[in-house]
Structure 1
Amino acid sequence: MSYQYERLFEPVKIGGVTVKNRFAMAPMGPLGLGDDEGGFNQRGIDYYTERAKGGTGLIITGVTFVDNVVEQHAMPNVPCSTHNSVHFIRTAKEMTERIHAYDSKVFIQLSGGFGRVTIPTNLGEYPPVAPSPIQHRWLDKTCRELTIAEIQEIVKQFGKGAYNAKRAGFDGVQIHAVHEGYLIDQFAISLFNHRTDEYGGSLENRLRFAREIVEEIKRQCGEDFPVTLRYSPKSFIKDYRDGAMPGEVFTEKGRDIPEGIEAAKLLVAYGYDALDVDVGSYDSWWWSHPPMYQEKGLYIPYAKIVKEAVDVPVICAGRMDNPDLALSAVDDGACDMISLGRPLLADADYVNKLRASKTKDIRPCLSCQEGCMGRVQEYAALSCAVNPQACRERVTALTPAYQSKRVAIIGGGVAGCEAARVLALRGHKPVIFEKTDRIGGNLIPGGAPDFKEDDHALIAWYEHTLAQLNVSIELNHPCTSAEILAEDYDSVLIATGSTPKTFGIGDHPAVYPAAALLMKEVPFEEHIAVIGGGLVGCELAIWLSDMGKKVTLIEMQECLLAVNGPLCHANSEMLEKLVPYKGVNVMTGAQVIDGKAGSIVVKTGDKEETIAADQVALAVGYGSDQSLYEALKYEIESLHVIGDARKVQNIMYAIWDAFEVASTL
């Protein structure tokens, strides 16, 4: 029979290794997946094996260090293939054997170090290094310049690390990387490399580090052992700590396309067997780790440029979760393989579900980066906002309920839906009572901007999944405490969510909560003031500006996003830059003190200013709705409050809290 995505399931050869399909698991920082001797811990083994079980043809692990002397790293941080080679081989061998059982191949990503871009929470007390004494990406300090002897020591360690990986059963390695501004990339980019020795100056000299690495690995592991490279043909750097916006005209100070093409040809000539293509740098992090504000498939044009320049396989990542987009990229000759990173965090079974034409079963990635890069950045731990089991597969494995219970869930937002899903999988009989005409809660207005389409995709996934599980959903059904008590449920979960905070502004007649505009409950006027520069306010302002409205964004704090929980820098920095770039008038350290039809008065310091505002949108936060919980807390033994009803946070904690409670009832 013919199958729409058959081409995505053709085998691909990388060097002498044949991969069963065109899907690779993109390397993602394995924070929390290593042990204090540099091996893979059980969480890491289970995590990678689960993605192989899910059908992914090629597993590429996240960063594994080869050096822990020249650039020191706190242990445990991520695995290190040379720290304790016997222990590394023992733990990695268990993982590669399990992965091979599913006919998947596995490459280990070996890192030369982070240099000036080391995230401070992972740096500890160790001084950052770099090719030259340049400014650190995050800290106000100057990096120490590496000596030639140290460079050559790192090269030797690459050979040892790759040899250990080969002994442990890995099918190949990926070098991390001439991409994103990591240490080897810092050597390759003239902005960061000011050396006058054989590792600086010409492009060939700046790539010498990368050349010596592949040559050393081939020397120790053999010419037939595949060595691939994570590679960025363009950096999008305007200056130190300053990146470009999509579509912005600027002068590239990092690597631009002409040099990117030349470098790609040289790297392949040096012996690299495949190039794994993205773009960006830590100075423009929203390119390397694209949030929802970047378009899907954003790396495809750059992968095609590289593919047309080299004769080795090209792998393409970058929001490639749409299978139609992935297929078109392969058909168009832009790449040979599709790399899925965050989509495989969200759903380990993505590839098998696609192969079986069960696309509606695939849990979508939101590109929110709250559970992955945000947690890596803040807590050195990898997971996923929409999949609480990511990187915790064994400890969160669902067990059948000892006794099936009738459980009432009051509220059909994301917390209520997740709780119902987990309860049904365990054999309980949940029923959702939702006071509106559809499930989704605050995801419905939150997903209104076109760049938040995956929020609505998550709602659709819950609708589909709960229908498959035969979960009873009572829509347009507000619940009272008397009704709940009359039914004598075994357990009750309060997931009543939150309501937007509102207030009046003088005599202004058109003041609405942000959700009213997002849901298009009122017609848009020409001049719109958005009060509140948090996540909702910034996204609303961009959306309105994209529709041609004249928008003023007013925030009491001295900067945007000041009161939000820790966001991944890729998201927060892009959003901060995107708001003024989209033409939004931004007023920080400002307070609205009065208003009337058509205008508001804004006070900044000692200055008062009248701003045109036909409408005012309030994005000043939400308050938990705990009224039903208060009415029941002394009446029901098994009573839990989850999601925003417990504490207004984010999508991740709504899902995680619901999973935690529902998995133990």
Structure 2
Amino acid sequence: MAQYPHLLAPLNLGFTVLKNRVLMGSMHTGLEETKDWHRVAEFYAERARGNVALIVTGGMAPSKEGGVFPGAAGLFTKQDIADHQIVTGRVHQAGGKIAMQILHAGRYAYSPECVSASPVKSPISPFPPKELDEEGIEKQIQDFVIATERARDAGYDGVEIMGSEGYFLNQFLVTHTNKREDRWGGSYENRMRLPVEVVRRCREAVGPEFIIIYRLSMIDLIPNGSTHDEVVQLAKAVEQAGATIINTGIGWHEARIPTIATSVPRRAFTWVTKKLMGQVGIPVITSNRINMPEVAEAVLAEGCANMVSMARPLLADPEFVTKAIAGQAKRIAPCIGCNQACLDHTFGGKLTSCLVNPRACHETEIAITPADTPKSIAVVGAGPAGLATALAAAQRGHKVTLFDRAENIGGQLNIAKQIPGKEEFWGLVDWYETMVAASSISLKLGTNVIADDLINFDEVVIATGVIPRDPGIPGQERPEVLSYLDVLRDKKSVGKKVAVIGAGGIGFDVSEFLAHPNSSLTEDLSQWMVEWGVGDPATTPGGLAEKGPQPHPPARDVILLQRKAQALGKGLGKTTGWIHRAALKMKNVQMMGGVNYEKIDDNGLHISFGEAHENPQAIAVDNVVICAGQTANRSLAKTLAERGFIAHVIGGADLAAELDAKRAIDQGTRLAIKL
């Protein structure tokens, strides 16, 4: 308590008390759609046991047309209510409180039945919405009310009414999507009528002793968005209508400014919430890129909010609050904001999980329990796969020896953390160091393991990672030709004009590293806002800077090339790929696809295009950096197999297609529970 007095202080709501200032923000995990209610309950209960004050579920549809996709979960039947009682009962048994988010997608619904204020099609859905008439609007209000009543009947402590991120209620608020001229459009008083009416009617339905959170978009980050004065006006009206708490929403899903990716500075938008503080008498929650207790404590101590919302950090570590209470912040598995297993999965129709914690949403499937027969286990390679295996195996009671030829742990994570915008990877490596030091693992660094070192172990795990693939380009042995390891690991000097060969994740990372100056914008909020064009909604509607993005000049001229004749970056993450492409475009990085690499000589990199090797040309550059993929480093596993000793091969040593820490950590953890 002494270390984080603001974060761990209780919050009195009048009719109930929250035990601290941590809200688990809503995330659509896909768990409810599995219909495995024991699994859903255990996911939330584990966070409740971790001392989260109030949990908010993923969005539940108030109606079929309001679901984010056909078949989206909601409380439509008596059976649905009974199923959700399993969840709320388990959370309450664990000492927690839980609210159900009511999410009406409006024009964001991936369905031909979608509805909105006006028939303005969303850029992220192929279906134009139907414009609601008076009767249709009344139906939607009733649907919110019924969903609130059913949430109460299902045992929820409250609801969160989703009014931000560009969803249904948000669509009525701004002229960007509301073109109406009746009492639901035109003046702001009319445009805010619907969300205020929804809150008022929901409060009337459930009485005073039920939590109603209103998620309010405090900065839309789209053209013709809300002004700060309108945000304050709505907040006051929502309070008057009966809201218990106001939560912060940041940006619409179609906004072209990143809001929660790892390249966004920590607590990047808490200043927006702070502008509302003192304007309303109910608690205000802030959100986005708050991922460690010291960050949350500072936000609250500075008066930016009364409470903090953390969603993905509680995927990464369900014991976040418990560890903060115990003064063990260094043991909190950090959310690195990568989106790879959470948002990328959600938008890809997969079940959510977490790169750092593959048990997230798989709590009933991946149980780390004591081993029946402890074994001696050798793990070769202290990258993500080896670390995950070693830690989980040691936790189960096995005697684990972890080897690596390097002088430090982390493997390819130590490469990733060099990239501007990926500073969170430093914290992940630090966390692994803390956890290994606190475990029973025998760590042997600077050790070049041979087969004879391993044959006396009960089990051997090969996690030796990858080696750069040889693209076989004539002239690649020249001194001006470097590998990505030369640049990122060995810090070799690079000239002012560079060709980067290979446009996978590593090629994009290297291009970002080379194009950016020494300082990272992720660690300088004011400069990051200038670069991306974030302004103040008090000055410009929606919070877009009047001059737009103002990119800082690139450190080098970079040309990024790939063999495939397709758009560069096509294989990047669903929710972050556009950010990487936009960031490189702002640095004037030239991108070329369908390229043949003919040779490298005194005149530079010689290329041609297509199968016919057309349009041959030489690109004069100071350096060529090769990022042409990787091959699995399986030599040790092969030697063991030749001697009749079959080892477990995981991570990059198993599959080298792109460096995939998500798969490596998941694979290592799952192996450990079987050993």
Structure 2 residue 12 is matched with structure 1 residue 4: no
Give the match for residue 630 of structure 2: 622
By how many angstroms is 1:285 displaced? 6.5
From 646, 660, 664, the equivalent of 2:670 is: 660
Contact 1:233/1:257 (8 A) holds in 2: yes
Give the match for residue 154 of structure 1: 140
**1:202-233 deviation per Cα after TM superposition (whole angstroms, max 9, x unaligned):** 22222222112111111110134231111222
Contact 2:42/2:90 (8 A) holds in 1: no
CA distance in 2 between counterparts of 1:618 and 1:659 reads 32
Contact 2:232/2:279 (8 A) holds in 1: yes
Sort the Cα spacing of 1:636 and 1:316 in 2 relative to 1 into closer, same or farther, 3 A: farther
By how many angstroms is 1:174 displaced? 0.7
Report the TM-score when normalising by structure 1: 0.89
From 83, 97, 106, the equivalent of 2:98 is: 106
Matches within 5 A, 1:167-566: 167-177=153-163, 179-237=164-222, 252-284=223-255, 287-288=258-259, 290-485=260-455, 488-503=456-471, 504=473, 506=475, 508-547=478-517, 548-557=555-564, 558-564=566-572
CA distance in 2 between counterparts of 1:313 and 1:104 reads 19
CA distance in 2 between counterparts of 1:500 and 1:263 reads 55
Sort the Cα spacing of 1:284 and 1:636 in 2 relative to 1 into closer, same or farther, 3 A: farther
Contact 2:61/2:68 (8 A) holds in 1: no
SS in 2 for 1:452: coil
The one-letter code matched in structure 2 to 1:203 is Y
CA distance in 1 between counterparts of 2:257 and 2:327 reads 32
By how many angstroms is 1:264 displaced? 3.0
User: Which sections of structure 2, spanning at least 5 residues, go unmatched?
Assistant: 518-554
Give the match for residue 525 of structure 2: none
CA distance in 2 between counterparts of 1:59 and 1:71 reads 21
By how many angstroms is 1:581 displaced? 1.1
By how many angstroms is 1:16 displaced? 3.3
By how many angstroms is 1:635 displaced? 4.2
Sort the Cα spacing of 1:15 and 1:611 in 2 relative to 1 into closer, same or farther, 3 A: farther
SS in 1 for 2:674: coil
By how many angstroms is 1:369 displaced? 0.9
Deviating more after overlay: 404-413 vs 7-16:
7-16
Contact 1:34/1:44 (8 A) holds in 2: no
CA distance in 2 between counterparts of 1:31 and 1:89 reads 18
Give the match for residue 242 of structure 1: none
The one-letter code matched in structure 2 to 1:60 is V
Give the match for residue 131 of structure 1: 117
The one-letter code matched in structure 2 to 1:264 is A
By how many angstroms is 1:420 displaced? 0.6
Contact 1:31/1:382 (8 A) holds in 2: yes
From 57, 60, 63, the equivalent of 1:61 is: 57
Matches within 5 A, 1:574-589: 574-589=579-594
By how many angstroms is 1:380 displaced? 3.6
The one-letter code matched in structure 1 to 2:90 is R
Contact 1:129/1:145 (8 A) holds in 2: yes
Contact 2:68/2:105 (8 A) holds in 1: no
Report the TM-score when normalising by structure 2: 0.88
CA distance in 1 between counterparts of 2:645 and 2:452 reads 16
By how many angstroms is 1:388 displaced? 1.3
Give the match for residue 574 of structure 2: 568
CA distance in 2 between counterparts of 1:506 and 1:73 reads 53
| Structure 1 outlier segments of 4+, above 6 Å | none
Contact 1:407/1:429 (8 A) holds in 2: yes
SS in 2 for 1:201: coil
SS in 2 for 1:444: helix
Structure 2 residue 61 is matched with structure 1 residue 90: no
The one-letter code matched in structure 2 to 1:96 is T
Contact 1:70/1:150 (8 A) holds in 2: no
**1:247-282 deviation per Cα after TM superposition (whole angstroms, max 9, x unaligned):** xxxxx3333444334433333333322221132111
CA distance in 1 between counterparts of 2:609 and 2:10 reads 62
Give the match for residue 37 of structure 2: 41
Sort the Cα spacing of 1:35 and 1:285 in 2 relative to 1 into closer, same or farther, 3 A: farther
By how many angstroms is 1:445 displaced? 0.8
Sort the Cα spacing of 1:327 and 1:621 in 2 relative to 1 into closer, same or farther, 3 A: same
Deviating more after overlay: 438-447 vs 498-507:
498-507
By how many angstroms is 1:91 displaced? 2.9
The one-letter code matched in structure 2 to 1:144 is K
Contact 2:141/2:198 (8 A) holds in 1: yes
By how many angstroms is 1:516 displaced? 1.6
Contact 1:25/1:341 (8 A) holds in 2: yes
Contact 2:38/2:86 (8 A) holds in 1: no
User: Which sections of structure 1, spanning at least 5 residues, go unmatched?
Assistant: 238-251
Sort the Cα spacing of 1:48 and 1:294 in 2 relative to 1 into closer, same or farther, 3 A: same
SS in 2 for 1:522: coil
Contact 2:501/2:628 (8 A) holds in 1: yes
Give the match for residue 248 of structure 1: none
Sort the Cα spacing of 1:91 and 1:285 in 2 relative to 1 into closer, same or farther, 3 A: farther
**1:572-598 deviation per Cα after TM superposition (whole angstroms, max 9, x unaligned):** 111111111133233344444333357
Contact 1:32/1:380 (8 A) holds in 2: no
Contact 2:389/2:672 (8 A) holds in 1: yes
CA distance in 2 between counterparts of 1:541 and 1:585 reads 10
CA distance in 2 between counterparts of 1:318 and 1:232 reads 12
Contact 1:559/1:589 (8 A) holds in 2: no
SS in 2 for 1:8: coil
Deviating more after overlay: 648-657 vs 592-601:
592-601
**1:305-331 deviation per Cα after TM superposition (whole angstroms, max 9, x unaligned):** 222433321111111013222222112
Deviating more after overlay: 645-654 vs 450-459:
450-459
Sort the Cα spacing of 1:636 and 1:61 in 2 relative to 1 into closer, same or farther, 3 A: farther
Contact 2:65/2:114 (8 A) holds in 1: no
Sort the Cα spacing of 1:401 and 1:497 in 2 relative to 1 into closer, same or farther, 3 A: same
Structure 2 residue 79 is matched with structure 1 residue 74: no
CA distance in 1 between counterparts of 2:48 and 2:646 reads 39
Sort the Cα spacing of 1:433 and 1:333 in 2 relative to 1 into closer, same or farther, 3 A: same
The one-letter code matched in structure 1 to 2:180 is R
SS in 2 for 1:65: coil
SS in 2 for 1:458: helix
By how many angstroms is 1:341 displaced? 0.7
Contact 1:128/1:136 (8 A) holds in 2: no
**1:605-628 deviation per Cα after TM superposition (whole angstroms, max 9, x unaligned):** 744454342122122211111222
By how many angstroms is 1:73 displaced? 4.8
Contact 2:232/2:276 (8 A) holds in 1: yes
Contact 1:71/1:129 (8 A) holds in 2: no
The one-letter code matched in structure 2 to 1:647 is L
